[in-house]
Structure 1
C-alpha cells in the first residue's frame, strides 16, 4: 500500500470514489459501440470525443508521473486509455475509408504530436512543483475539452437544419 501513501484518509476516500465514478463514465459510450458492432456501421457517429478523451488520459498519466505518488490517477487513466483505444478501434473497423483516414490522422496528431509537445515544453524548462502546476493546468484545459468535444456534434446538427 506504499504506492497509495496518502496523508489524508479523506483524500484517499474521495480518490477512490472519483475512480469509481470515472469507470462509470468510461462505460457510458459502450451502448453506442455495441450498436456500431451490431449494425456494422458507424452510422454518422464522430470519433473526435474519444480521441480527445484518449489525449486527456495520456496527459493525466504524464501528470501523475511528474507529480509522483499518484497511484489512483495512473490506474484510472490507464483504464481510460484502454477504453478509448477499444472504442476508437471499433470505430476504425466499421467506419468508411475517409472517416478512418481522418480518425487515424487526428489520433496521431493529438496523441503523438500534442503529447510529445506537452512533454517537450514542460519537461525541460520547468522543474519540481512548477512543472507539476504547469502540466496540471494543461491537463485541466484538455479535460474541459473532453466535455466540450461532443458539442462539435451539436454544432454540426444545427448547421444541417
Structure 2
C-alpha cells in the first residue's frame, strides 16, 4: 500500500512534468519569431499572464508562506526563467509601441507583487493565513493566465 505522502509526491511530480511541457509549448512560436526577427501578429498577453502566475505560485511555495512546497517552488522557478526568456525575446523583436506597453505591464506586475509580498508578510502572521491569501490570488491569476489567449479575438 502506498502512503498518502508518496502518492502526493508522485502526483506532484507528474504535475510538474505536465507544467514543464506547458511552459515549453510556445517554443515553436518563439523559434518563428527568432527566425523572422519580428513578433508579427503575436500578442504578448499569454506570456505576461503566465509570468505573473509563476511569480505568485513561486511566492506561495516559499517556506515563509507554505512550508514543504518544494515541487511548487521548483516548477514555478523554472517557469519564471522560461517565461522571462520569452518576454525578453518578445521585447527585443516587438515594435516600439508594443515594447513600451509590455514594459508598462511588467512594471505593474512588479508593483503588484511587491504589494502582495509586503501585505502578506506584514498583515498575515500564520502560514494558514498566508497560504489562504496567496492561494486565492494564485487561483484568480491562474484563471486569467488560461483565459489570456482569448485576447487574440479582440
Partner of 1:40: 37
Partner of 1:119: 117
Partner of 1:159: none
Unaligned runs of 5+ in 2: none
- Residue 153 of structure 1: CA displacement? 1.2
- Residue 121 of structure 1: CA displacement? 2.4
- Count residues in correspondence: 149
State the distance in 2 between where 1:100 and 1:133 align: 35
Structure 1 stretches of at least 4 aligned residues deviating more than 2 Å after TM superposition: none
- Residue 68 of structure 1: CA displacement? 1.4
1:134 pairs with 2:138: no
Alignment of 1:1-161 (within 5 A): 8-65=5-62, 66-110=65-109, 112-128=110-126, 129-154=128-153, 156=154
State the distance in 1 between where 2:30 and 2:134 align: 32
* Range moving further from structure 2, 20-29 or 6-15: 6-15
State the distance in 2 between where 1:125 and 1:106 align: 26
**Deviations, residues 98-151 of structure 1 (Å, cap 9, x unaligned):** 1111111111211x1111121122221212111111111111111111001111
Backbone CA RMSD of aligned residues: 1.3
Q: Secondary structure at the match of 1:149?
A: helix
Q: Secondary structure at the match of 2:134?
A: helix
